[in-house]
Amino acid sequence: MKRATAIICAAAICAAGTPFYGCAPQESEGTKYRITAAYDGGNTLEGRVETDFYNDTGNALDCLKFNLWGNAFREGAASSPVSEAAKADAYYGGESYGGMEITAVTGGEAQTGGDDMNILCITPAEPIYPEQRLTVSIAFVLKLANVNARTGVAEGAVNLGNFYPVLCAYGGSGWLEYAYCPTGDPFVSQTADYEVELTVPEEFLVAASGEQTAVNRADGNATYKFELSGARDFAAVLSRQFEVVTRQAGDVRIKCYCLNESGRSLADIAAESLAYFEETFGRYPYPEFSIVQTGLAQSGMEYPALAMISADCGDAVYTAVHEVAHQWWYAAVGSDQYMHAWQDEGLAEYSALMFFESHPEYGFTRAGLISTATRAYRAYFSVYSQLFDDADTGMDRALCDFAGDYEYANIAYNKALIMFEALREALGDGQFRAALQSYYSSYSASIAPPEGLMAAFCARADCEGIFESFIQGKVII
């Protein structure tokens, strides 16, 4: 994500070959989602997601756990889905609420819970053993708040980020059950294949994460079909006002969905930066990329093969490059964004720096970007030292432990940018780039632990001390 802040803007064992419900012979393919959903033109999306889960966790699982991100927008949610700083821009028509209702579940006994009604737990009759599959189906109704946020009826468009129940990621100690947080991106999920059918009133155009394979029009509606492989999420944006501009970046088709004149230039910057990152880090994993202007209180938000950019964004070019970089650092190489936000945000920031360094015509320089981040970080440190006596500058913190957008932006973006600059100075340009290429090829389609990132660099130079001093907060900037 790019903030609009002052910083820069299931106990039976399957008999092989014996088919019975919820337990199938071993297959090598991963998890698949089949989503069908219909938008009513107002504030309701009704849908069903069938999840064909493949247990690659190595453990027998008693249940499957899904995130219900839509419930973060309900009245009475434990924390606001929008930060205090962004509320005035986000709630353009005043207070508004949404929510996600689960109307039917097959494949196991269902229970909604978690810290903030954010988790759906489905318990099948039998455990799911390693390398077995289980298919569950969830029918849901998503009520959309009127809000310029990832999920909601925004100004000019309808944002369908995190719009369906998606499996929690499975970590070493179990399912990662993170509640929504107004700061940062609390979304952690593993890659899967998607087939999505979205039905909308026919006057809407649909921008989506996947490759559009068909559109059928009937009875005043249009049904769009999309496919996307190896993606950790799927998002869409609907609008009556989109103008579509296309470009090509090598084999990748770029689609820019514009709401205003300034949006047209985003197609070029997206194509240019995507080509640069392919050459610098490795191949982009999808056939298409969509950059979409929409009503968004933040500057931008990343999804696999799609980025939302605020139609009011004052630094849209910089934001677009940052969001394109997230296709490498978030979409392809996943990380635990809730506990280690600096990992993908820092890399997206530093990747943007690298792009602008090699494209001086945009007016950003390496020295200028580092200087801006350093000044902002020092100002934050000074203010927080005065406010709290001893500013906590540790980087590994749960999102909800940040005091707000200001602290989060300075730690996860600015300080992380400065850390990658220190690493580059220690390794030299060639080894620094090689480390990033190694990290990308090693962890594409996975969730990389911070240690994996550190190992990619420290295999090339003695740099453990740099990571330690920055992450633990000891370094003086």
Q: Which residues bind Zn ion (CB under 5 A)?
A: 1, 345, 348
CB of 326 to Zn ion, least distance (A): 6
CB of 465 to Zn ion, least distance (A): 27
CB of 322 to Zn ion, least distance (A): 6
Nearest to 244 by CA among 214, 222, 220, 212: 212
Residue 254: is it exposed, middle or buried by C-beta count within 10 angstroms (0-12/13-18/19+)? buried
Nearest to 142 by CA among 122, 158, 124: 158
Residue 319 or 431 with smaller CB distance to Zn ion = 319
CB-CB contact of 71 with 99 (8 Å): yes
CB-CB contact of 298 with 323 (8 Å): no
The per-residue b/e assignment along 266-279, b for 16 or more CB within 10 angstroms, e otherwise, is bbebbbbbbbbbbe
3-state class (DSSP) for residue 440: helix
Residue 1 or 158 with smaller CB distance to Zn ion = 1
Residues 6 or more apart in contact with residue 378 via CB below 8 angstroms = 477
Looking at the DSSP bridge assignments, the partners of residue 34 are 50, 195
Sign, CA torsion 335/45/75/121 = negative
CB of 349 to Zn ion, least distance (A): 8
CB of 265 to Zn ion, least distance (A): 20
Residue 148 or 337 with smaller CB distance to Zn ion = 337
CB of 345 to Zn ion, least distance (A): 5
CB of 13 to Zn ion, least distance (A): 44
Residue 11: is it exposed, middle or buried by C-beta count within 10 angstroms (0-12/13-18/19+)? exposed
Residue 195 or 345 with smaller CB distance to Zn ion = 345
Residue 1 or 416 with smaller CB distance to Zn ion = 1
Residue 126 or 185 with smaller CB distance to Zn ion = 185
To the nearest 5 percent, what fractions of the chain are helix, strand and coil? Answer: 30, 30, 40
Residue 258 or 348 with smaller CB distance to Zn ion = 348
CB of 412 to Zn ion, least distance (A): 9
Query: How far, in Å, CA of 178 to CA of 209, rounded?
Result: 23
Query: How far, in Å, CA of 99 to CA of 201, rounded?
Result: 22
Give the pair of three-digit tokens for residue 314: 């004052």
Q: In what order do the strands lie in the sheet with 32-39?
A: 99-106, 133-143, 44-54, 32-39, 192-201, 221-231, 211-218
Residue 328 or 443 with smaller CB distance to Zn ion = 328
Tell me the CB-side half-sphere exposure of residue 281, using CA atoms within 13 A.
Answer: 29
CB of 65 to Zn ion, least distance (A): 26
Residue 68 or 321 with smaller CB distance to Zn ion = 321
CB of 141 to Zn ion, least distance (A): 30
Nearest to 91 by CA among 118, 70, 73, 69: 73
Q: Which residue lies nearest Zn ion, judged by its C-beta? A: 1
Residue 345 or 405 with smaller CB distance to Zn ion = 345
CB-CB contact of 67 with 165 (8 Å): yes
CB of 268 to Zn ion, least distance (A): 21
CB-CB contact of 55 with 134 (8 Å): yes
Residue 62: is it exposed, middle or buried by C-beta count within 10 angstroms (0-12/13-18/19+)? middle
Residue 199 or 410 with smaller CB distance to Zn ion = 410
